[in-house]
Amino acid sequence: MAAPPLLLLQDIALTFGGTPLIESAELSVSPGERLCLVGRNGSGKSTLLKIAAGLVEADKGSRFVQPGATVRYLPQEPDLGDHKTTLAYVEAGLGPSDDPYRAQYLLNELGLTGEEDPRKLSGGEGRRAALARVLAPEPDILLLDEPTNHLDLPAIEWLENEIRAMRSALVLISHDRRFLETLSRATVWLDRGRTRRMEKSFASFESWRDEVLEQEEQEAHKLDRRIVAEEHWVRYGVTARRKRNVRRMAELGALRQERGDRRKAAGGVRLTVSDADLSGKLVIEAIGAAKSFGDRPIVREFSTRILRGDRVGFIGPNGAGKTTLLKMLIGELAPDAGTVRLGANIQMVMLEQGRDSLDPTWSLSEALTSGRGDSIMVGGQPKHVVSYMKDFLFSPEQARTPVGVLSGGERGRLTLARALAQPSNLLVLDEPTNDLDLETLDLLQEMLADYPGTVLLVSHDRDFLDRVATSVIVSEGEGRWQEYAGGYSDMVIQRGEGVTARVAAAAPAAPKKERAAEPAPAARRKLTFKDKHALETLPATMDKLAAEIARLQERMADPALYTRDPAAFGKLSAAAAKAQADLAHAEEEWLRLEMLREEVEG
């Protein structure tokens, strides 16, 4: 017998102004369930999640939460309040029975010390603190709205593993396909104000969605044929039996009403790129290029040849220097040593990460036309700005809407529309997937596949890199960069590992306060036998623990395990948590001893 739901939304409806945003939505979350909530930008996903969290009251419908069940909600733009430190902010979310040490552990894993002033954090740092706050209590239900925003690849992969090891039920909104496929076990699709549920992970969503839409089209076609038949009867049928005539006229009116009430699926984004003349065969050549800021090397003796038609991805943790390397290759930054040469006839268009080129006071129309008339040149042909807006899912009524009030997804589509309208044979895309819905990402991938020019791409989206990149350039640390053929998954196979969470976590862990209490270097100038033995054996111990964690996570990935044997799932989860803690301790100890060894030998 299935466990009763911890959270239940029934017949939810909500209207903002005109067209209902949500008409009849359902959401049921049972213990240990892993749901992803999908739908187009503007379909109401975030609003439905806020209703589930109890932050927004629906116009109609009911919300039920099991008494005693704990719910934690991560919004897209978290408010850190007036807490003095990030640790105080995270600890404020703990309950009386929660582990207080978990707050500090999560902050360290996410690259924070706990001493930061929440008012001075960047967007990415604030999101990491908010993640620590919702994960620390290990609640019964986690409601996460775009948790990977502003996170780099190591943090995303760490977050995946952390959530997989938790027993919490999960409702997840994300544009990261790989993240959704890894964590979801069921999919809820919010479309035209209504929800549909599929008891499979996101990996099966697109084929299921296409089947549903195809069935809708067939039903709409049958309805249209019935209306045509009834209209033919009205014009040419027998009119002697008045009562029967009245009934059939009423039926015809009902059919017309049904067709009028049917909310059609939103049209798709139509992406076209304005091609320039072909560039030369050689687009970029770097030989021994190097760049440093102060004493910190960003790029060391890097060489590459990028040819016309290549699609090159840049991968690394935040702060590794991806944008610096990219700007050096396209000529915006001069190398300190070595040479960088651009090929002939390069026409470059850059889609920047921060959307800084968008003036918030512009209207949508002005942003597309730069204030010059009401037409825009696309592919060498003039096109009315309203028609071009429709290609990117903007309504004609939004033509005079200020850019400053657009949502993140709308700003992403607008920036993409501006970039693709400019003639180019070299596209430079810095985090192009930010805030784009999955359908737009699909079409962007198809457009890039057909693009005759060259693409340079910085992204933390593993699926997007796999689908687009012909090669990737990866940070190996300390300013070293290595190029691998293929996408992200191909790189992992060749390299033997991905851009793991330890890359990001190790860097901020070094200056923790506990280290200041260790004996000064002068007091410890030699390695003991115990230290030497630990240095020799810890790598094998860490490999053994990593293998054990992978084995436990593989067993917990069985979607039926929790329902079939909750006790076994609990034991596996506890064993995985202990193994991860042991691994973190072993890595810290190895790092301490290795630093001591280098100090002694130096």
The annotated binding site for ATP is made up of 39-46, 316-323
* Consecutive H or E run containing 387: helix 385-391
Closest CA to 572 of 551, 586, 546: 551
Cα–Cα distances in angstroms (integers) from residue 323 to residues 293, 330, 352, 427, in the given order: 14, 11, 10, 14
Mutual angle of helices 205-236 and 242-261, in 10-degree steps: 150
Cα 569 to Cα 99: distance, rounded to the nearest angstrom: 20
SS3 of 332, please? coil
Q: Count Cβ atoms below 10 Å from residue 141 Cβ, excluding itself.
A: 24
Binding site residue list: 39-46, 316-323
CA atoms within 13 A on the CB side of 507: 14
- Partners of 485 in the β-ladder: 471
- Partners of 293 in the β-ladder: 296
Tokens in use for 529? 């036998």
Cα 63 to Cα 85: distance, rounded to the nearest angstrom: 34
Helices (H) and strands (E) in the chain, counts: 20, 20
Cα 384 to Cα 379: distance, rounded to the nearest angstrom: 13
Q: Count Cβ atoms below 10 Å from residue 297 Cβ, excluding itself.
A: 16
User: Tokens 């702060």 belong to which residue?
Assistant: 319
Tokens in use for 305? 């040849």
Burial class (CB in 10 A: 0-12, 13-18, 19+), 371: exposed
